[in-house]
Structures are given as C-alpha cells and as structure tokens.
Structure 1
Amino acid sequence: MLRRLFTAATLTLAVSAAWSQVALPPLHPATEAAFVKLTAHAGVKQAVDFLRADDERTLKDQIELTEIPAPPFKEMVRAQEYQKRLKALGLGDARIDAEGNVIAVRKGNGKGPVLVLSAHLDTVFPEGTDVKVKVKGNRYEAPGIYDDGRGLASLLSVLRALNQTGLKTVGDIIFVGTVGEEELGDLRGVKALFRDNKAIDGFISLDGLDIGRIVNQATGSRRFRIIYTGPGGHSFSAFGLPSATHALGRAIAKISEVRTVEQPKTTFTVGTLKGGTSVNAIAAEAELGLDMRSNSAVELKKLEDQIMALARDAADDENKRWDKKDVIKVEFRLVGDRPAGAGQLDSPMVQAARRAVATVGGEVKAITASSTDSNLPISLGIPAVTLGSGGVGGGSHGPGEWFSPINAWLGPQSTLLTVLSLVGVDGVTEPLLPVRAR
C-alpha cells in the first residue's frame, strides 16, 4: 500500500480542541474500500509519485507567488497571475469573479458531486511591505511565504498531477483562489463564492502546513467599532460636560471584568483605542475596536449581548456622573462577521482526510477549530475541512514568516488522495462525498 512508500516527518502539534481529546471514530468501510482501490490503481500511484518529483517546481511557484504583493483588498495583481497559471495548466475557463476570486473548473463525468479546492490569495501585510523571499540554507523567509503562498502552490501541484496522469474524475473539482480571508477582509471572497454558486457539495481550504491537523470546526468572530460621541468642549470653561473618552474608559473597565466559558473556547479583547482632540479638551468622540471569538455560535451571541449591554451602561454612567441625560451616546458598527459552526467527526470529508494522511505515512494528531475560509460552508451545513499543505514554518502574520520544504510533498499527496476519494475516479471508485439536495 502507498502508506508504506513514504517516510513522513515527525508530526507534533498542540492538542487544543475537544475533538483531539477523545477517541476518533473508526473509519467507515466505504472509506477503507475506496482507498484500497485508489492506492492499487496505477494512475493514482503515478500521480502520487509525480507530486514528490514536482516538489521543487511547487516551491518555485510558492516563491514566485509570494513575491507578488497581495495586501488586503488589493489582491488583483496576484489574482491575474494565478488565473494565468490555471489557464496554462489546461483550465481555459479560469476567470476572476466580481469579488476578485479566481475560479476554474475541472469537469468530471457529470455523475458526481462538486468539490471546491481552494487557497487564499490575500495576505495580512499592508501595501509597501517587502515580500522578496530571502533564502537561508533550506529556509525561505518572506511575509506570506506559507500563509498562504504554500496553499496556492500546492493547489497548482495537485492540478499538475491530475494533468500528468490524465485521471478522470466522477465529480467536478473547482479550483479557487479566494480574496479577503485575512483580517477585515471578513471572508468576503468565500462569501461571494457560495452566494453565487449554489451547487457546491463540499469545500477544502489549504491553509497552514501541518498535514496532521484537520480543521472541521469554525471559530466564529464578531468585530465592532464601539463609538462614543458627545458635544465636547474646553477642559476648563466647559467643565461639567460628560466626556467621550471617560465613557470609553468606563466601557473598557466593565468589559475587562467579563468572564467567559472555557469550553467551547470563547474569547474577547479590546484591541484598539482612539479619540480626543487635545489634552485640554473634553473629548467629543472616542472609540474602541472589539474582537470576540468562539467555537460556538450560541456562546458568541451571549458574549456579544453582554458586552453591548455593558457598553451602553458605560454611556449611561458617564451621563449620570455629571447629572446629564443622553449627552454621551454610543454607536455600534459591525466591521467583521465570521460565522461559527462545527462539522461531524465521522463525516466523509474528515474520514477521507484522515485516511489520506495515513496513506502517505502521517498521523492525524488534532481535529480542531480555527478561523479560515471553511467557516462559511461549515456555517451553512456544507461539508468542509481546512488541511495543511506540507513542510514546516513559523512566524505567520509577522515580518519573519518562514518556510522550510521538509517532506513538503506530503501535503499535495494527502490533498490529492483526499480529493480523489471524495469526487471519485471514473471507472475506479464512486465518490465518498454525497451530492446535496438542490
């Protein structure tokens, strides 16, 4: 079997989710049967071997794509290059949609599901960031080199393997480079993808490196600007008027005392502050930036309701302090909304990913939650997972981000096997991924 043909790197990671602390359900007989057939098929073996041989080319793609800046909301130059590369690999229908996503379809025989394989085009880094890759031995350093330069390159490698071997699938595979995955991009790319394409049956996001980590839970988040406003005035002559900055301080003090449940993990932070005009002025405006996250939509809603009430109380308290009524007002502006949700441990998506990792010699150490493009389909009840793309790295979202291609081919190999088992190989296996009711 293929699992004996590869030597995997040691896979170590923190066990951080509830799923990781319980015994995983056994693999379904249908999953095992599909992989027995796939791993015995000459074309599949050839494709898996090709991906190891393609490792150097994949790294070259990764470096070249990383060196094309893709700041938040300014991904177009990288998107155009990605579209060009997909077309060069035979997907002549590759297009850029209205939101900026790059989308291309590899058709199956028309009798199976529609599966999306995606990676995100954008980075967290602002315009003007130096993204030139610096090579230090077997270590490659640049902002975005693995988040998500590695995912984008791995996706292209999987497509090359399919082309090289001529494997025909039962279901369609939609290759996608999404925009807006990071920060205030607010998943705008994947939201547009599912808004405009109702026939998607499953979704895989390549984001991260470790093939031993499968994400099937969505850490939801809600982000707000909480803005206090008032008349303002001179600190001496207008003394006695309520202050927007004082109300802001009251709000932070109240919010800091909030207690959240440990499980499902639920968090909050006041990340930014701004306001006031001068040291000798009563502030007319002040605001804070609030981030709230949870692996549970219910707990996230409870936390939001609690903190919003405290923020209103802060305005009331500031008005009462100066015997005023409704002088200081508070406004809430939603600036980020990533839905929460959870997939099933025994879903075909998770089963296929687990078996694929085992086949290439790896071991799944965690089935966990994170905030990725998979949040959106998970929240809609559409099967979705986020998978690692292979290699090792660190410093994500920082200027010292780095990647080392140690056994990096294991990422594309496990991804390919996961995809093929889900969509089926014509004349070899039936799809494990069911077609959803339309």
Structure 2
Amino acid sequence: MMAWTRRVHRTAVSAALLIGAIPAFAAPTPAAVATIKRIEASPAFAKAVAAIDAGHDNWVADIITLTEIPAPPFKESARAQAYRDMFMARGLSDVEIDAAGNVTGLRKGGGDGLIVVSAHLDTVFPEGTPVKVRREGERLYAPGVGDDSTGLATQLAFIDAMNQAGIRTKADILFVGTVGEEGRGDLRGVRHLFTKGKYQGRAKAFFSIDGGGMDSLTIGGAGSKRYRVTFKGPGGHSFGAFGLVNPMTAMSQAVVDLYKIAAPADPKTTYSASVVGGGTSVNAIPGEVWMEFDMRSVTADELAKVEKRFLAILDEAAATENAARSTRDGRITVEPVLVGDRPAGATPLSADIVQFSTAAHAAQGITVQYRSSSTDSNIPISLGIPAVTISRVASGGRNHSVDEWIGIEKADNVKLKRIGLATILDTAGM
C-alpha cells in the first residue's frame, strides 16, 4: 500500500482542526514510530546521512550562491535559471522552467504515485537591494539568506544525499523551486503547479521547505485576504479649498476603525494597514490616496468575519467624511481591490505526512511543535492534499529584514536535514 494511503493515527483531532486551533504537540503513534525506525536502521539511510554530513560545506556554499542571485518579487528568472542548472547537474529528469516560472525536476522512483518537495525562489526584497552575504563565525547575514535561499539549498542537499546513497523510492519525487510565494505573488507558482501545470492532479503529498527551528512543523495554512484600497475626492488647494472633503481623512478613519476590531487570539486572527501612498503636494488636498491592507486567520470563518467588517468600515469611513465636510465639488469614493487571496486550512494530525515527521523528530529526541503559517502548503491543503512545511535551517532570525541571518553550525543542521529526509522517504516509500 502506498505510504500516503496508510492511516497510522485516527482521532477526533482532525475534526477540531477545521474549527479551532491546532494543538501545540502530540506524541507520534506506534505505527509511525515503527516506520521511521525501519528507515533509520537501513544501510542506505545511513549512507544518506553520511553524505549530508560530508556535504555540509557544499550546503553553505549553495546558500551563498543562491542568496547572491537577486530574486525580487515577480523577477525570479535569473535565480530560476541558475536553479534549473543545479537540478540538471544532479541528474533530475524532465528539468524545466514552466509557464509560471517554477523550476521543476523529477527524481523517478518506482512510479507508485508522485510526491512534491519544494522551496520558493522569490524574496520580499525589491530590485536593487544589496544581497552580498556576510559571514561572521557560524552565521550568514544577507537579505533573503534564510527565506528561502536556505530552503532551496536544503532541497539540493536532500537530492545529493539520495543520489550518493543510491536510494530508490516507490513514488516519484518532483522537486520544485516555486515563484510568487511572497507578498503580492499570492502563491502564483504553486497555484499553477496544482491547477494548470502538467503535474496537475498527480500529487499525493506535498512538502514545502520554508520554516526554521529544530522543533517546528507547520501543518496549518493561515489564510489571508489582501486589499489595495483607493479613496478618491475632488482635491483642491489646501488653503483656498479648505473645507472640502479629504480622502486622506476617510482613509485615516478607516485605519483607526480597523484597529478597533477585536480579533480572536484563538484561532489566531490578525490584520494590518501596511503600505500607503498618494497625494501630489504638501499644499494640496489630495485627489487620491491608497493603502494596502492584510488580514489573516488560521480558519476560513474568522477570516471571512474580519474581511466583512473591514469592507463595511471602508464604506462607513467614506460616508462619515462626506457628512463632515463639503461635497460641493464632489464626494469621497472608495474602491477596494482584492490583490491577495490565500486559502485557510490544516492538514489533520492523522495524516501520514504529519505522523512521519512527528516520529522523525521524536527519533532525535525532539518534541515537535505544530504551527500555522502562510506558505506554499496553503494551496495543496485547500485541495485536500496532505501538506506540511518543514524547517530549512536549525536557527535564524530577522526574516524579511535586511539584517536577516541563519546559523550554519554543523551538528544541528545535519540533524535537522536527517529529520526532513527521513520524513520525505517514509512518505515516498523507501
């Protein structure tokens, strides 16, 4: 029986995940422990771990190489081309850059289905951001050095280890470097992979290498709604037209009222007024201003509630300004445009992919912590495909900032890759 069709753990927890928070942790089932022990005891896996250990410096070098190839939002092509070459050098078959810009490469197994292992190519940093890596002892510093350049390098380390150990899996494994994971990319790469690409409908399980820490496993997909909202008005001279309605006032009121929403901590729900622009001169009432907003929740119901209230707030803010000042030259209008829509959901604790990872962590003396986040896993989760996001590196910090860093200490990072590889191999059937 294929690995992903076995059910090693059945509880009522999976139903709870649909309506509430994810438990922080759970013990692996005996069946999951047994399958991980079998893999850990195999000579081939021992060779793979030895290859990971011996290849540590190559892993660090790959991180540096990939980080220093800029991959700003919607401009990932240079990094994609380099990553395609890295896939080809490792002997993957059917290597290509697809219509969305994803890099895909197939490691053929026994043909008993397909699993997907991925990391994302893009960073959050705009074009022109310096990306030279600085090494200080056992740390690397650079924008994007962790998220997700290290995920890409870790994926390559998995391929190298499997190749050097001569491991053949029952399932084929599709390795992917996705585009559009960050920000306004709105998961466009993984959406294409699962809904339009040539592998559509074939994947039975999905791994995203896009987390950090020794004990972290993301099984919940935090959904999001993102809007760019434009407030318009007649505009005018700040002195001569004083008293006319001002779109800036309406927008400001919308922000104030948004932050009055009582968002639940459980299930975690958040919102943010994020980016702003508009106006023409310090001495002019603006004719147009805009702002971008982000709303997130680990459940679809709570996300829908905050979105509904947000849209009502926009209309109320415009109406309040129109009632407060003169509309003789025109009224305030508001135009919300949805620019990001990520589905919420969770992979049940009963899914093999979760149980295998839990057991693989436990085999190394680690109690895994289940988390929710917004990653490429959101899309397969929304399609009912078991998906998790696993850690790319043992330690790191300051993600999405110019002083982002990762720790490259050998022992913990070898252990972490051992955990990730064991989980992938158990899911793929070894």
Q: Judge same fold: TM > 0.5, yes or no.
A: yes
Match for 1:261 among 240, 261, 264? 264
State the AA in 1 paired with 2:51.
F
Match for 1:212 among 208, 211, 215? 215
Show the counterpart of 2:350. 346
Contact 1:120–1:148 (CA<8 Å) still a contact in 2?
yes
State the AA in 2 paired with 1:119.
A
Show the counterpart of 2:26. 24
Equivalents in 2 of 1:238, 1:209: separation in Å? 54
Show the counterpart of 1:415. 420
Show the counterpart of 2:15. none
1:275-294 maps to which residues of 2 (within 5 A)? Answer: 275-294=278-297
Shift of the alpha carbon at 1:261? Answer: 1.5
Match for 1:252 among 247, 250, 255? 255
Match for 1:377 among 369, 380, 398? 380
Show CA shifts across 1:360-396 (max 9, x none): x241341010111111111222100000123322221
Match for 2:362 among 333, 358, 377? 358
Equivalents in 2 of 1:392, 1:252: separation in Å? 36
- Do the aligned partners of residues 393 and 323 (structure 1) sit closer, same or farther apart at CA in structure 2, a change above 3 Å counting? closer
- Do the aligned partners of residues 413 and 134 (structure 1) sit closer, same or farther apart at CA in structure 2, a change above 3 Å counting? same
Show the counterpart of 1:316. 319
Match for 1:388 among 388, 391, 394? 391
Q: Which moved more, 1:391-400 or 1:321-330?
A: 321-330
Equivalents in 1 of 2:264, 2:395: separation in Å? 33
Contact 1:292–1:304 (CA<8 Å) still a contact in 2?
yes
Equivalents in 2 of 1:64, 1:24: separation in Å? 38
Contact 1:154–1:411 (CA<8 Å) still a contact in 2?
no
Show CA shifts across 1:11-62 (max 9, x none): xxxxxx94344x6154152x23322322232112211222112111111111
1:415-434 maps to which residues of 2 (within 5 A)? Answer: 415-425=420-430
Show the counterpart of 1:7. none
Equivalents in 2 of 1:357, 1:292: separation in Å? 32
Equivalents in 1 of 2:408, 2:240: separation in Å? 66
Give secondary structure in 2 for the equivalent of 1:264.
coil
Equivalents in 2 of 1:96, 1:318: separation in Å? 50
Show CA shifts across 1:45-103 (max 9, x none): 21122211211111111111111111111111111111101111111421001111000
Contact 1:211–1:362 (CA<8 Å) still a contact in 2?
no
Contact 1:20–1:365 (CA<8 Å) still a contact in 2?
no
Give secondary structure in 2 for the equivalent of 1:201.
strand
Show the counterpart of 1:81. 82
Contact 2:59–2:153 (CA<8 Å) still a contact in 1?
yes
- Do the aligned partners of residues 61 and 353 (structure 1) sit closer, same or farther apart at CA in structure 2, a change above 3 Å counting? same
Shift of the alpha carbon at 1:355? Answer: 1.4
Contact 2:229–2:334 (CA<8 Å) still a contact in 1?
yes
Show CA shifts across 1:213-247 (max 9, x none): 00000111111111111222234444443221222
Equivalents in 2 of 1:281, 1:151: separation in Å? 48
Shift of the alpha carbon at 1:204? Answer: 0.3
Contact 2:28–2:359 (CA<8 Å) still a contact in 1?
no
Equivalents in 2 of 1:203, 1:287: separation in Å? 37
Q: 5+ residue gaps in structure 2?
A: 1-19
Shift of the alpha carbon at 1:135? Answer: 1.7
Equivalents in 2 of 1:321, 1:423: separation in Å? 64
Show the counterpart of 2:47. 46
Show the counterpart of 1:187. 187
Q: How many aligned residue pairs are there?
A: 405
Show the counterpart of 2:205. 202
Q: Which moved more, 1:173-182 or 1:331-340?
A: 331-340
Shift of the alpha carbon at 1:422? Answer: 0.6
- Do the aligned partners of residues 424 and 329 (structure 1) sit closer, same or farther apart at CA in structure 2, a change above 3 Å counting? same
Match for 1:402 among 405, 408, 412? 405
Match for 1:222 among 201, 222, 225? 225
Give secondary structure in 2 for the equivalent of 1:409.
helix
Give secondary structure in 1 for the equivalent of 2:53.
helix
1:159 aligns with 2:163: no
Equivalents in 2 of 1:236, 1:139: separation in Å? 55
TM-score of the superposition, structure 2-length normalised? 0.90
Show CA shifts across 1:305-357 (max 9, x none): 00100110111111222364982111011122221111211211111111122
Give secondary structure in 2 for the equivalent of 1:389.
strand
Percent identity between matched residues is 44
Show the counterpart of 1:436. none
Give secondary structure in 2 for the equivalent of 1:198.
coil
Contact 1:25–1:345 (CA<8 Å) still a contact in 2?
no
Give secondary structure in 1 for the equivalent of 2:393.
coil
Equivalents in 2 of 1:138, 1:323: separation in Å? 62
RMSD, aligned CA = 1.9
Q: 5+ residue gaps in structure 1?
A: 1-16, 426-438
